[in-house]
Copies of this chain bind each other. A is one copy, B any other.
Amino acid sequence: MDLPETPEETLDPQDWDAMRELGHRMVDDMLSWLETAREREVWQPVPAEVKAHFRQPVPREPAPPEQVYADFRQNILPYPMGNIHPRFWGWVMGNGTALGMLAEMLAAGMNPNMGGGEHVGIYVERQVIDWTKELLGFPTGASGLLVSGGSMANLVGLAVARNTHAGFDVRKVGLQGCTGRLTVYTSVEAHSSIQKAVELLGLGSESLRLIPVDDAYRIDVATLEATLAADRSAGLQPICLIGHAGTVNSGAIDPLETLADIADREGLWFHVDGAIGALAVLAPDLQGKFAGMSRADSIALDFHKWLYVQFEAGCVLVREEAAHRGTFSLTPEYLAHQERGVAGGSRWPNEYGVQLTRNFRALKIWMSLREHGVEKYGRLISQNAAQARYLAGLVSASPDLELVAPVDLNIVCFRFNPGKGSEGLPRLDDAALNALNEEILLRLHECGIAAPTYTTLRGRYALRAAITNHRSRREDFDLLVREVARIGHEIVKEG
């Protein structure tokens, strides 16, 4: 009974009204900041003094919330990544939305633990998963889980593939002493998260068979089939085939119907990495590209990419609920479900993935889909794909720019190549063009003009614009093309 008789302390505000007032200011500031994004640089470097500001000893004493917020306004808000901006097309990122931002506040206020239990958040997440199954043509009996993103969704899918197709009890005995070699097949264009998952699962990157691609960066089916046959002859045990609904480099879509047929015939788990493009099925004009996708045994997708939802909002669907649950479910006493009370309910989300504690990421997705409806998302995805074609058209029409990969979806890989290497200006070799385009990209960033990133395709360094941006307009691509050419010539002139 060693509690002091003084009142207990709490982290609750001493002055709730002051906190309300601060909250209002934050809402106003952040919404204005989003509203005026177009007027600012896309990106600017973090000054040395700001970096130094974040190398301090741990605070011992309290500070008023207003002061903490002032610090945020001064030292954090001015130096964002930039993906909220209309001219950010780096990697593959969504912008987020105004209501999505507010939804995160609501979710954090309620702060449920979505690992399990009986409370409304569980039903909201189930609704989002059901909607996703409906949109992607998955059966109603399929299971699903909201996860951090594509990396985790791919890991979950491959874990189920491993555990169901090894032919022995992997959970119990592990891969140690496995006499065969379980192998996984995908194209060389696969995202690094596939290799990461294969390594983490103990399969070894040697077991990941990377198949070459055709000119459109789609998996070469003939080579895939030959490799499968050769591997079987060599005593390997193929377990999983991974197709892409949009590759990270160029947005290429593998021939999913054909891959589904092969997986069927060969008895392989068919996983689709749809992080980049799966949601494009919402766009009527793009839907046809994804034939066969709904035949996947598991699929990874990201609401924080082409649904423009705030990070983190990934999702995995698994056709066979039992296989999914059988890979992850562990119910020790302290996680056992009751019939009644807060520990009630069945099929707790933690039984379908790696996380036990999970936040209420379902809310922002649910509110976003309610706010805009899927038809508008379909139009916006179409619009981004049309913008990609528009940009590709500008590039092709420019005397000094060229495409480095075909545009299948929303990713445009191009480079500055003065005179397209053919006339007037001295012809530059690939090494010189690579260096030149790298410098162009850095200046685009440093001047705050635009933020594509880059990739290298068959040795050619390419500026890469991945358009999952609901704020971009045609004029932004006009500007991009104009500035790339201007900066390119400027660098050439500098010699």
Contacts and interface: CB of A to CB of B under 8 A. Distances in A.
- 10 A-B pairs with the lowest CB-CB distances in the bound complex, closest first: A202-B202, A174-B204, A341-B445, A23-B27, A79-B120, A104-B108, A105-B105, A81-B112, A149-B357, A30-B109
A157 interface: no
B123 A111 contact: no
A334 B91 contact: yes
A376 to B, nearest CB: 6
A16 B32 CA distance: 8
Interface string A1-42: 111000111111100100110111011101111110000000
Given A192-B330, A455-B333, A200 B159 contact: yes
Contacts of A3: 383, 386-387, 389-390, 474
A130 B55 contact: yes
Contacts of A65: 99, 371
Contact count band on A: 35 or more
A289 interface: no
Given A3-B386, A75-B120, A171 B446 contact: no
Interface string A153-185: 001000100100000001111111111111000
A430 interface: no
Contacts of A135: 58
Contact of A383 (B8, B174, B341): B8
Interface stretch (A82-90, A216-224, A256-264): A82-90
A152 to B, nearest CB: 6
Contacts of A358: 148-149, 311-312
A96 B113 contact: no
A199 B134 CA distance: 32
